[in-house]
């Protein structure tokens, strides 16, 4: 398909033709042409900042924006159906998972085109079809003799497009791949914004992977242009920003300020945040992190960032949303489930007690547990934005305090990282971006932690607690062992391990090189259809 400089290089069949109309593609192209140059400048600015960090620069709160932090201002009032966000469930734009999430009893469902979604062409386009059907209340599915359809009460829909760093190879605008952010956003807004307004809700977003307030400014300009083009009032679109990178933690006020007419809150994206600390600071041996399992939400740097997030949001009239509980309850493992649910409960107690207005879960069975803990604190109130947390004082040193009491680097932790990375990448390359691994719902963020930790440990020749030194040779040996073990297990379960070899190749490319690629997904994306 070619229309005024727009080329779709993948098949357009069935309901895809309803999504990829000339008008819809023209809308996406107009956004891309207007804003892709600035998107590329922002990505170049990320690279410049990384070079400065590698040369010894230290993260700090910005002098040039001090007045924004000092001044009294607030974001726009929250829409009625985003006022109570005590439990939010997340998942990919898969049809069955969307229906189950919307019916889960959570207040909000985040439909994810990013970390929980493998961006195959079918997933991207069918995801947009599913959004339309969800908005219209007609989404249903017949599978394995069972019918899935929406119940009487459903969660408020929020959509997460892919991040600024990604493009989509299936759509070219003037000969260049389209920004994946603008493709996901543009198609969603074009087809659903007015539908949602007619139903008394609105087009709500989660914005991922921001690293600077200038990137939030770019999003704000995109949202203004999109609303003008669609002839809907500015401020109709509301966005929650994930604070999942360490540079963004130093600019939370500024990010909210740039989006203040569209902002509804910030979210503590814990797994990507850990990855960002490794990625941004991992070349400095003072910032070596121990096994992922020991980097909990109570260690100093994680505690500092989450408490600062609550204080910042509440001062500005925005919601503070807590982090993910990724455990998958399993009736066949009652002892494991009991222990894990106790940890989930403790995590949600801490978040509610700290002043968060809501939290994330990845599985419907966790909604009651999380709801109970937030109900205990909130009662009949929809949020606790009146808790200003003026007792919280967070310095740059606090945000950079990566001490992990009792944490160490172990052979078991190294092997777990290899296993998670291989198994997740194998799943992602099959088109499944939310993968159940060892009773956890894993997404791209956890694979990013796994491979970046291994790179960091190799770079600094970290000594394992059993005496070995982490090296490329050691990781390659463990990788070969895990590859064969995973392949054998898949065959025993009647599964085809055909993508595992590709997964191993991508893993070694993004974990074992001299340089740490900024993200693993571009390398893996080359191998997707």
Give whole-number Cα distances, 448 to 1, 47, 225, in Å: 35, 18, 33
If DSSP codes are grouped into helix, strand and coil, which group holds residue 34?
helix
Task: Please count the other Cβ atoms lying within 10 Å of the Cβ belonging to residue 472.
Answer: 15
User: Where does residue 249 rank: exposed (0-12), middle (13-18), buried (19+ CB within 10 A)?
Assistant: buried
Using an 8 Å Cβ cutoff, are 505 and 422 in contact? no
The set of residues, in sequence order, having a beta carbon less than 8 Å from that of 150 and lying 6+ positions away, is: 99, 102, 103, 134, 137, 139, 140
Task: Please count the other Cβ atoms lying within 10 Å of the Cβ belonging to residue 164.
Answer: 25
Dihedral sign (CA 428, 430, 431, 432)? negative
User: Where does residue 219 rank: exposed (0-12), middle (13-18), buried (19+ CB within 10 A)?
Assistant: buried
Using an 8 Å Cβ cutoff, are 294 and 267 in contact? no
Q: What are phi and psi of 243, to 5 degrees?
A: -90, 90
What Rg do the C-alpha atoms of the chain give, in angstroms? 22
Q: Among 401, 396, 144, 364, which Cα is nearest to 289's?
A: 401
Beta bridge partners of 207: 241
- Residue 64 DSSP symbol: G
- Residue 155 DSSP symbol: P
CA 128 to chain centre: 18
Q: Residues of 284-300 as b/e, b for ≥16 C-beta within 10 angstroms? A: eeebbbbbbebbebebb
Beta bridge partners of 7: 2, 172
Distance CA 172, CA 179 (A): 9
Please report how the helices 270-281 and 300-315 are oriented relative to each other, as an axis angle in degrees rounded to 10.
Answer: 120
Beta bridge partners of 173: 6, 176
Q: Residues of 425-456 as b/e, b for ≥16 C-beta within 10 angstroms? A: bbbbbbbbbbbbbeebbbbbbbbbbbbbbbbb
Catalytic residues: 160, 443
Tokens of 72: 């009294």
Length in residues, the chain: 529
- Residue 286 DSSP symbol: G
Tokens 């949303």, residue? 321
Q: Among 434, 437, 441, 436, which Cα is nearest to 94's?
A: 434
């Amino acid at each position: 398909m070619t229309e005024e400089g727009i080329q779709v290089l993948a098949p357009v069949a069935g309901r895809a033709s309803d999504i990829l109309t000339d008008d819809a593609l023209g809308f996406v192209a107009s956004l891309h042409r207007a804003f892709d140059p600035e998107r590329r400048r922002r990505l170049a600015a990320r690279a410049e900042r990384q070079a400065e960090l590698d040369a010894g620069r230290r993260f700090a709160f910005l002098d040039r924006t001090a007045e924004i932090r000092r001044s009294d201002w607030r974001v726009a009032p929250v829409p009625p159906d985003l006022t109570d966000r005590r439990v939010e469930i997340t998942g990919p734009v898969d049809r069955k998972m969307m229906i189950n999430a919307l019916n889960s009893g959570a207040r909000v469902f985040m439909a994810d085109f990013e970390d929980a979604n493998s961006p195959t062409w079918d997933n991207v386009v069918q995801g947009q079809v599913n959004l339309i059907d969800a908005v219209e209340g007609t989404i249903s599915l017949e599978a394995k003799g069972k019918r899935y359809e929406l119940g009487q009460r459903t969660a408020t829909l929020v959509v997460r497009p892919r991040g600024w760093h990604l493009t989509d190879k299936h759509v070219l605008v003037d000969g260049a791949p389209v920004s994946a952010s603008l493709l996901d956003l543009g198609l969603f807004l074009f087809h659903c914004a007015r539908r949602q307004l007619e139903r008394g809700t609105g087009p709500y977003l989660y914005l991922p992977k921001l690293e600077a307030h200038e990137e939030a400014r770019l999003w704000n300009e995109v949202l203004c242009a999109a609303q003008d083009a669609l002839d809907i009032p500015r401020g109709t679109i509301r966005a929650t920003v994930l604070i999942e990178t360490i540079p963004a933690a130093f600019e939370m006020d500024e990010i909210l300020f740039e989006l203040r007419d569209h902002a509804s809150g910030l979210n503590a994206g814990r797994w990507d945040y850990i990855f960002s600390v490794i990625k941004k600071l991992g070349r400095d041996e003072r910032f070596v992190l121990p096994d992922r399992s020991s980097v909990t939400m109570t260690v100093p740097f994680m505690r500092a960032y989450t408490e600062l997030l609550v204080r910042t949001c509440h001062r500005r009239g925005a919601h503070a949303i807590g982090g993910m509980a990724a455990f998958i309850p399993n009736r066949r493992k009652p002892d494991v489930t009991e222990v894990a649910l106790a940890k989930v409960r403790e995590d949600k107690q801490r978040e509610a007690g700290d002043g968060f207005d809501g939290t994330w879960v990845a599985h419907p069975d966790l909604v009651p547990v999380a709801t109970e803990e937030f109900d205990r604190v909130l009662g009949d109130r929809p949020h606790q934005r009146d808790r200003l947390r003026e007792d919280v004082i967070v310095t740059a040193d606090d945000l950079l305090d990566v001490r992990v009491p009792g944490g160490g680097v172990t052979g078991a932790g190294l092997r777990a990282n290899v296993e998670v990375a291989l198994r997740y990448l194998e799943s992602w390359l099959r088109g499944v971006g939310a993968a159940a691994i060892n009773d956890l719902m894993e997404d791209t963020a956890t694979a990013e932690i796994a491979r970046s930790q291994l790179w960091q440990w190799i770079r600094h020749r970290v000594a394992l607690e059993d005496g070995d030194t982490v090296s490329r040779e050691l990781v390659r040996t463990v990788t070969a062992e895990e590859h064969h073990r995973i392949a054998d297990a898949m065959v025993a379960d009647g599964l085809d391990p055909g993508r595992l070899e590709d997964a191993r190749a991508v893993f070694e490319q993004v974990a074992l090189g001299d340089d740490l690629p900024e993200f693993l997904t571009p390398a893996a994306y080359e191998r997707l259809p």
